[in-house]
A and B are shown apart, each in its own frame.
Chain A
Amino acid sequence: MQETLDTIVDDAAKDGNAVTSRAQFETFKAGLMGPRGSFTQQRKQMGRIPREERPAFGKKLNEIKNRLERILTETLEKIEKLESASRLGLSIDPTLPSPEEQPGSLHLLTQVREELCAIFRQIGFVVAEGPEVETEFFCFDALNTPPDHPARDLQDTYYLPEKIHFANIPQREEERYVLRSHTSTVQIRTMLDKPPPLRIISPGRCFRRDTPDATHSANFHQIEGLFVDKNVTVKDLKADLDYCFQSLMGKEARTRFRPHFFPYTEPSFEVDFYSGHLAKVGAEWTEIMGCGIVDPSVFEAVGYDPEVWTGYAFGLGIERIAMILYGVDDIRYFYQNDLRFLQQFS
């Protein structure tokens, strides 16, 4: 009897090895534990053996049952392993390229614009926007540009035909539309729209009637800044621009103010920077931007009281900054959109 039970276990261990599918397993299990299974048959013997042997037999049965169940569990685990192996297939070659490998990218000009905007946001500026098609009033008159100033020349500024009207670009009177030659227009629109104080930057596309070459482009991008409050001074302007260039180029960056002339600021300056670590241009003072204290006549044109409010304004070219920061030596790269250029900076 005992031998029979042990034989069942030995056979089960052997048969279990041959089981490779769930169907086989079910048959295998039924052959042991099912109503006609070999183990079930043995258990039915309990009634036939002498009473005094029953406890020992019961004990033996239990032991055998546990051993059989362990075999069944192991067999099932083996089958599950086989099943998931066939579901997963071969192991991967992790060195194969991902088909999604082509990286997306922000254009270098967008990156530089955002870097500059982030720098100025940190000192309380917000971004203001305005139309690219502008009118002579916003582009010139309000910025104190005399009627026969060369900047208004057909040679320099793109004009739209007379009698054209844009539904969502308001004119002052019947003045002509132009493609804005700077983003100071946004400052004028903002000042006409909102009372002081203000602290805005206006990044955006500008247009000049230039024949493209390595440093000129008929489309280009600027960031102009305007801060209007009580007691805004030259010292503030210098402090804020120093902060900007040190953020952009490192702590060793220095700026220098050279007196200059712009119709909309007084005093006006051109700003040179110096930064030793920029190998190409850092060794000497390099002209980078224009700035100044807002001319009182500009405030008068937008209805701000120049006795009460003062302000500073500045403007810089995004292409120029990008060229300096990244060593790009031809402005035309920015508008070619060669994928190798676009992805270089991703």
Chain B
Amino acid sequence: MRPVPDRRLWLLVLGFSVWGSALGFVYVLHSVGCAFAWPANAIRLGLGLVLFVHLALVGLLWRSYAGTYPGAPAVDPTDSFLNWVILWTLIAAFVTIVFTLGPTLLLTTCT
């Protein structure tokens, strides 16, 4: 069995890093938009776009990991463990993005 490369460790934080990025972009875009009195629709569009891009990114990663998840007994158990954890952090991050940043599409923008 091939040794699991060290860089796999970074993937453990990938999903929630994308969530952090989404939060950061949403926060900054909203602050700048409100400070410069951008039209509400423009702010909403920007926020929606940020949300969509990040959801798509995590969704693609989720799909990619779900597709390659080995599960077969011959696979290195450490590799299998890491894959499982990475997959579920991606799923959890996807749900967290929807739950925490979804309201940006519904509420009044700058009041």
Q: Do chains A and B stick together as partners?
A: no
What is the interface of chain A, defined by CB distance below 8 A to chain B?
A: none
